[in-house]
Structure 1
Amino acid sequence: MEFNHYRLTSTWRLPAPPGPVYRALRDVPAYPHWWPQVRQVVRLDERTGRVRIRSALPYQLLVTAHERRQDPPRASARGYSRAGVLEAELAGDLVGWSRWTVGPDGAAGSLAVFEEDVRPGKALMRRLALPGRPLFLINHALMMRSGERGLRARLGSTLR
């Protein structure tokens, strides 16, 4: 096992169709409004932004995300025929990529799958890889759980 390599997956079941979920996830500058651990997003250009993140552990991450792929879900007469995909290249305190895949889940819901394949760019995280890995994984899980709650609330307020 390589302790400085993280392949993470989170699955969110959301009570909204794929279109609104995809649009909310595509709007990265709005994340701080509904995702407490995403403290700040600064747009650098049309396809790049800097994200400041802090979860339960007492450190923050600065990550530059550059859009690699943006494919909205495709709707058909019978629902959604193709999942939407958002993918970004990551640099800074985390180096690698992240991807959201948003598709239908039942009649009116969505399944949003977050995948991330990263290595720490931050020296402290690399040095603490062996003893810190369980804490880093718990920190990530807490952040993702909070993000799911925040997005549920945001979708509930925008779909009324």
Structure 2
Amino acid sequence: MDWTHYRFRSLWTLPVPPAAVYAVLERPEEYPRWWRQVRDVTRLDDTTGVVRIRSLLPYDLTFTAREVRRDPEAGVLEAVLSGDVDGWARWTVTAAASGSLARYDQVVDVNKPLLSRLAVPGRPFFLANHWLMMRAGRRGLLAHLQAV
């Protein structure tokens, strides 16, 4: 098993139309306004930006995200990631009985030296840290959508 390889999936049910959710998710430079663990996003051009995140554990991850798919009709946003993590991430927003389902999939290899050295003993903590970050993201997005 490669202890620095991670596959994540988060499902967020949101009581708002899919188009409203997609409209917020397609603007990553605004994520820090509603998702406190996304510390900053710096746009480099129309499809690329540098992202810095930090959740409960005392470390930042910084990576470049380059958009490879933006499909509003399918509700898909996908990016390739490189830096402290290498891999990809994808949002898929669809209609659900209660409004929307925002599905987040991510497959990455962690390159940050400290996290690589702590890969085996730290893995349960890293997984919990990611779960907490995603839970906070859903809460922040919902509050943002309800305020708009």
Q: TM-score, normalised by structure 2?
A: 0.98
Tell whether 2:13 aligns with 1:22: no
> What do you get for the CA RMSD once the two structures are aligned?
0.8
Aligned mates of 1:103, 1:27 — CA distance in 2: 18
Aligned mates of 1:120, 1:3 — CA distance in 2: 9
Gaps of 5+ in 1: 74-82
Please list, as runs of the form range in 1=range in 2, the aligned pairs for 1:79-118 lying within 5 A after superposition.
83-106=74-97, 109-118=99-108
Equivalence for 1:127: 117
Aligned mates of 1:125, 1:44 — CA distance in 2: 26
**How far is 1:17 from its partner?**
0.6
- The residue type paired with residue 71 of structure 1 is D
Gaps of 5+ in 2: none
State the 4+ residue runs in structure 1 displaced beyond 4 angstroms: none
Contact kept in structure 2, 1:11 and 1:113, CA below 8 Å = yes
Equivalence for 1:59: 59
Contact kept in structure 2, 1:71 and 1:84, CA below 8 Å = yes
Aligned mates of 1:139, 1:145 — CA distance in 2: 10
- The residue type paired with residue 86 of structure 2 is V
Aligned mates of 1:102, 1:68 — CA distance in 2: 16
Aligned mates of 2:121, 2:62 — CA distance in 1: 22
What per-residue deviation string (whole Å, max 9, x for no partner) do you get for residues 90-141 of structure 1?
00111000000000011x5100000000001211111111001101000000
Instruction: Report the secondary structure of 1:36's partner residue.
Output: coil
Tell whether 2:144 aligns with 1:151: no
Work out which of the residue numbers 120, 129, 146 in structure 2 matches 1:139. 129
**How far is 1:2 from its partner?**
2.1
Contact kept in structure 2, 1:91 and 1:121, CA below 8 Å = no
